[in-house]
């Protein structure tokens, strides 16, 4: 896989949504990327959307103070303890932050992101077409 632009260049752009994939050790690499954290901090400060699934809510967002209580992540020991008062819900939308549990909730996560970007009616139409 080749990125369209280097991440350092991405810090200079505006993003409608920044979504973090899960998995380990990838989430640790995301956490350790200063340019990515800068992008996420800008998203938060400007009220723009950012999201994470699986290990990323705990490893990236929680460790950098980018989520509060009531978010969700992969329900594994070592991850849940990193979260401030996590909930056991497949997808959580908290203002401009969306979190999800993991691979089995990825379609629900994607539909929730679509709803945040394009509205409930469009998200429902897509979900219906996908048989979700």
Active site residues: 54
With beta carbons less than 8 A apart as the criterion, state whether 35 and 13 touch.
no
Q: Rounded to an integer, what distance in angstroms lies between the CA atom of residue 12 and that of residue 67? A: 23
How many CB atoms are located within 10 Å of the residue 68 CB? 14
Name the residue with tokens 């956490």.
31
Q: Three-state DSSP class for 57?
A: helix
Name the residue with tokens 């998203």.
43
Q: Three-state DSSP class for 29?
A: helix
How many CB atoms are located within 10 Å of the residue 43 CB? 21
How many CB atoms are located within 10 Å of the residue 58 CB? 28
């Amino acid at each position: 896989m080749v990125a369209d632009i280097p991440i350092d260049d991405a810090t200079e752009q505006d993003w409608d949504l920044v979504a973090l994939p899960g998995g380990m050790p990838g989430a640790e690499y995301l956490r350790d990327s200063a340019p990515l954290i800068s992008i996420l901090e800008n998203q938060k400060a400007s009220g723009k959307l950012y999201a994470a699934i699986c290990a990323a809510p705990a490893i990236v967002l929680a460790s950098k103070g980018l989520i509060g209580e009531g978010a969700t992540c992969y329900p594994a020991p070592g991850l849940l303890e990193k979260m401030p008062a996590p909930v056991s819900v497949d997808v959580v939308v908290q203002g401009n932050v969306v979190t999800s549990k993991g691979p089995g909730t990825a379609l629900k996560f994607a539909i929730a992101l679509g709803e945040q970007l394009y509205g409930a009616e469009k998200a429902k139409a897509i979900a219906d077409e996908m048989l979700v």
